Structure 1
Amino acid sequence: MEDSRSPHMKALELRQLRYFAILARELHFGRAADVACVTQPALSQQIAKLEALVGMPLFTRDARGVTLTPAGDALRDGVEQVFGQLDLALRAARGAGKDQGFTLSIGLVEYTNLPFVPPALIRLQALYPDVAIVRREMNARRQWAALGADEIDVGFGVPVEQPGRDAQVRSEELLDSGWCLLIRRDHRFARRTRLHINELAAERLIVPARSVNEPLYDSVLARFASAGVQPNIVYETTQSQVGMTLVDQGLGSMLGAAYVFASVPESLVYCPVDGFDPLTVKAFYREGEHSSLVLDFVELAIEEARRVQAAASACAARRATNLSLL
């Protein structure tokens, strides 16, 4: 059968529209490239190809930043409709011949307040409106066994060690993070750009309880010991929001991963602390997984985590610049 599409449609690639949609949302080539999991030159190249197909610029690039042209505005609205129709078609295909809902069981430590999980779940529900989410509290080590026993479908965690070969678990790196100290704005460290573990010796520390993640807790104490520091831990909490409240009320300073402090009260700031092992948040799922629900969720989590990582890097750069001007 003869292809009746126009030459422009034949040359159009779906990834070009996806990259366009991401850039139209982020309005920043660096962040958009991180979210799309491509290099910035590759993103720019695909946008240029799309603009060539359209026959006019879709974005304006100047000293003030990136903005959509009128043509870009029109295309963005159309692309959103196209992806909306694609989502409907995919849902119809998945549900064809089936009369059942979907259940996704997730293993994670709720204390860690992973910022990419809520937006990934929201987007997943747009793809699977009838999905039911079940959350199970467990650290990375326990997730591996739970995946093998079909108790969970996806896990998110910070592994201190790696799963054994017999675990048959795949992992995807989502975001990297260092350690930070959450403090009040009137604290003596509030204008510092970085701290070292040795400087925490005199601090009254609020830390995540050992029951939250035993291997990680033990590794933190080991780093203190190797640095010759006896930490003054005044409170161990199983809820990050409780720890933030205690910092705000003056009980002490809270030690935690940077992503835990993605959203804090205006009265608090956090400062990176060197000397601890870096953290890598990973997603875990079964080898040979074929469920579209699971695979789609992992892909959405990766995309949202890259957006979080890009935003965190930009925020850290702005904070360093602002402090240098004080």
Structure 2
Amino acid sequence: MEESRSLRMKALELRQLRYFAILARELHFGRAADVACVTQPALSQQIAKLEVLVGTPLFARDSRGVMLTAAGDALRDGLDNVFGQLDRALRAAREAGEDQTFTLSIGLVEYTNLPFVPPALIRLQALYPDVMIIRREMNARRQWAALGTGEIDVGFGVPVEQSGRETHIGSEDLLDSGWCVLMRRDHRFARRTRLRINELARERLIVPARSVNEPLYDSVRARFVSTGVQPNIVYETTQSQVGMALVEQGLGSMLGAAYVFASVPESLVYCPVSGFDPLTVKVFFRGDERSPLVLDFVELAIEEARRLQAGTTASAAGPAAD
């Protein structure tokens, strides 16, 4: 019996436990695979191997979806303690090896309201309880230079143009998004499922100010011009929450990336707009980065963004109805 247990432990891989933990949280093979950054067949294969090693099914699969079995529940609860102890041990090792204060400087534009950043920061704080977060307001273009000078450790942005000289900068795609218009529920477009750019010709528009992202602002204006539309921009804002408040008060409708509207007041709805170039949010970091704190945060941000993307569509169709 002892020899059999030893052989099972040798065959067990940490990634199998990580995949199990993700699937136990998502209860959906497709979403779990996206979060784990693997294909669904690869995830299923590793879960099947784990079930063989454990000797009993961990998930029940039927027409209603995926559920944890009693054995799966027990393993999930046990792994919470194991992973917690592992995180504490790794943190203690880092602190013993590096007598330093953990500070993380992040570059982003607060207007963009990136929904995956808060949960990533919360998880980072669980790993590094004493971490100090410093936020720098800057778009992607400025972030590349700031990473080189050490002003920031990680950047989040939507690059519209890149010179190609930033070879020292690493990046990963995080989130794909389309454009949406936010409006009041009594708006004439409130029940539409999609709009075209030319339908915005006479619309009073609230848009992100040029200072938020100059290249992106210019590309949006150019897209209007190329479509033959003269946009009626009534207000430019540097704060998304201010823009939403103005929409509520009836000043106009707000044009923005879908992820900006991840959480909006009940009195408002948003609708996808076709005709604009899609957006890709990226995370930027130094290509030769060695700091565990920075690398852990980048990994957490990627995982949270994958989870968000897996649960939504790129166009982020809002609650508007037909």
Q: Same fold (TM over 0.5)?
A: yes
The reply on whether 1:287 has 2:287 as its aligned counterpart is: yes
In structure 2, relative to structure 1, the CA distance for the partners of 1:32 and 1:97 (3 Å cut) is closer
Q: Corresponding residue for 2:169?
A: 169
Equivalent pair of 2:177/2:316 in contact (CA under 8 Å): no
Partners in 1 of 2:136 and 2:169 — Cα distance?
Answer: 18
C-alpha change, 1:6 and 1:319, in structure 2 (3 Å) is farther
Q: For residue 63 of structure 1, what is the amino acid of its counterpart? A: S
* TM-score normalised according to structure 1 size: 0.94
> Secondary structure of 1:281's match?
strand
Q: Is the counterpart of residue 32 in structure 1 residue 32 in structure 2?
A: yes
Distance, in Å, in 2 between the alignment partners of 1:249 and 1:281 is 30
Q: Distance in 2 between matches of 1:190 and 1:78?
A: 48
Structure 1 moving runs of 4+ over 3 Å:
314-320
Q: Which amino acid aligns with 1:260?
A: V
Aligned twin of 1:309 = 309
Cα 1:97–1:285 shift into 2, 3 Å: closer
Amino acid at match of 1:202: R
CA contact (8 A) 1:109 1:157 kept: yes
In 1, Cα distance between equivalents of 2:140 and 2:6: 51
**1:144–1:163 Cα contact (<8 Å) kept:** no
Code of the aligned partner of 1:55: G
* Correspondence for 1:296: 296
Distance 1:146 1:318, change over 3 A: closer
* 1:61 CA displacement: 1.4
Q: Is the partner of 1:289 in helix, strand or coil? A: coil
> What's the secondary structure of 1:312's corresponding residue?
coil
> For residues 316 and 231 of structure 2, what CA distance do their matches in structure 1 show?
26
- Quick one: structure 1 residues 238 and 127, their matched pair in 2 at CA, closer, same or farther if it must change by over 3 Å? same
Contact 2:269-2:319 within 8 A present in 1 as well: no
Q: What is the Cα deviation at residue 42 of structure 1?
A: 1.1
Instruction: Name the residue aligned to 1:142.
Output: 142
Cα deviation 1:173-196 (Å, max 9, x = unaligned): 111111111112222222222111
Superposed CA RMSD:
1.9
* Cα shift at 1:227: 0.5
TM-score (norm 2): 0.95
What is the one-letter code of the residue matched to 1:211? Answer: S
Counterparts of 2:210 and 2:304, CA distance in 1: 28
Code of the residue aligned with 1:61 in structure 2: it is R
Q: Does 1:225 align with 2:231?
A: no
Q: Is the 8 A contact 1:148 1:167 kept in 2?
A: no
Q: Partner amino acid for 2:114? A: L
Alignment partners' CA distance in 1, 2:260 and 2:198: 22
The residue that corresponds to 1:211 in the other structure is: 211
Question: Partner amino acid for 2:87?
Answer: D
| AA aligned opposite 1:197 | I
- Aligned in 2, Cα 1:318/1:71: closer, same or farther, shift over 3 Å? farther
Q: Relative to 1, partners in 2 of residues 1:97 and 1:283: Cα closer, same or farther, differing over 3 Å? A: closer
User: Could you tell me which amino acid in structure 2 is paired with residue 161 of structure 1?
Assistant: E
- Give the residue type in structure 2 aligned to 1:88: R
Written as runs of structure 1 = structure 2, the 5 A alignment for 1:21-60 is: 21-60=21-60
- The question of 1:107 aligning with 2:76 is answered no
Shift of 1:313: 2.4
Q: Which runs of 5+ in 1 are unaligned?
A: none
**Structure-2 change in CA distance of 1:228 and 1:36 (3 Å):** same
Q: Is the contact between residue 272 and residue 317 of structure 2 (CA under 8 Å) also seen in structure 1?
A: no
Check if 1:254 corresponds to 2:267: no
CA shift in 2, pair 1:145/1:315, >3 Å: closer
Deviates more, 1:178-187 or 1:221-230: 178-187
Distance 1:80 1:153 in 2: 29
8 Å CA contact retained: 1:183, 1:268: yes
Query: Residue 126 of structure 2 aligns with which residue?
Result: 126
Q: List gaps (5 residues or longer) in structure 2.
A: none
Distance 1:231 1:258, change over 3 A: same
Q: Distance in 2 between matches of 1:106 and 1:57?
A: 43
Aligned residues: 320
Amino acid in the other structure paired with 1:287: G
Equivalent residue letter for 2:198: N
Residue 160 of structure 1 pairs with residue 167 of structure 2: no
Query: Is the CA contact 1:27–1:66 (under 8 Å) kept in the aligned structure 2?
Result: yes
Whole-angstrom distance in 1 between the partners of 2:317 and 2:66? 19
**How far apart are the structure 1 equivalents of 2:162 and 2:76?**
42
Question: Which amino acid counterpart does residue 100 of structure 1 have in structure 2?
Answer: Q
Q: 1:208 to 1:315 in 2, by over 3 A?
A: closer
